[in-house]
Each structure stands twice: as C-alpha cells, then as structure tokens.
Amino acid sequence: MSTETSKATAKVPKNPAAGSTKTKKKPVSKSSKACIIFPVGRIHTMLKHRVPTKRVSVLASIYLAAILEYLTSEVLELTVSTLKQQQSGVRRISPRHIVLAIKTDEELDQLIKSNTTIAGGGVLPHIHKNLLKNEEKPVTHKKAAKASAK
C-alpha cells in the first residue's frame, strides 16, 4: 500500500455502538484528478450558470480549465522573456510587460485582437515613417533644374 492511499483513508466508525468501522476516503478535487491548477469545480459552476439548459459535462469544464491554464502559462512565459530582454533590472511583472508580450506574439495577438484592453498596459511603441521629420538633403543643381522645368 502506498503512502498516498494510507493518508487518503481513515477509519471512521460507522455505528459507534456496534463497534464496526468503515474506511472513508478524503475527498479529492476534480482539479487534482485532472492534474490541473485551475479550479475545475468553479469553472463547472460558472458554465452551468451561463448555459441555458443548465446541463454541462464535467469533461467540458476540465477541457476549459486546461485551455485557460495553457493560455495563462503561455502569456506568463512570454512576459518573463520580454522582461528579461529589457534588462532594466525590474523583477515585477506589470500590465505594460503583459501587453508587450501579447502584441509581439502573432498568434496571441490574433486571439486577443484589438477589442481587448489591459488597464495600464499602454500601446505598442511604433511611429509611422511618414510622421518622422525628413532630413532634407541639399538639392543639387541638376535636380533643381529638373524640378523648375516641370
């Protein structure tokens, strides 16, 4: 018998007067059964409230929790790599770092699109080339003559 099963079972008297005992296992959450960090039970409850028929499979909740966990880990991984690339010595993730990570990844940018706003995130730094001042080069006499001839 492994240590996990010995910890999970405890002898609880069924009828104290009769003296009989029955083993009762500790409850195990759906999240731990599915090896997922996100709360499957809470997601299942939220899904039941959103679906008109109120009938939702537990597998749908597990699948949704796994997807949310994957997307969260992907965003977190990209954010940490963005933070390391900046080399500013900052050790705290801010909404700005999250926005930069999402906007630099093509797939996540398509998923989130432009209809999502992260508070305090700002925008992607970009100045269009037409808005920049053009450094005018000195006009040669040949170019000036062609321009005046037209």
DSSP string covering 68-96, please? HHHHHHHHHHHHHHHHHHHTS---S--HH
User: Per residue in 53-87, pLDDT tens?
Assistant: 889 999 999 999 999 999 999 999 999 998 888 87
Burial of 26 (0-12, 13-18, 19+ CB in 10 A): exposed
The confidence score (pLDDT) of residue 18 equals 60
Instruction: Answer yes or no: is pLDDT of 49 > 50.
Output: yes
pLDDT at 143 exceeding the cut of 70: no
CATH number of 30-124: 1.10.20.10
pLDDT for residue 97 is more than 60: yes
Q: What's the alpha-carbon Rg for the chain, to the nearest Å?
A: 30
pLDDT of residue 24: 86
| pLDDT tens-digit readout, 4-25 | 544 555 555 566 566 667 788 8
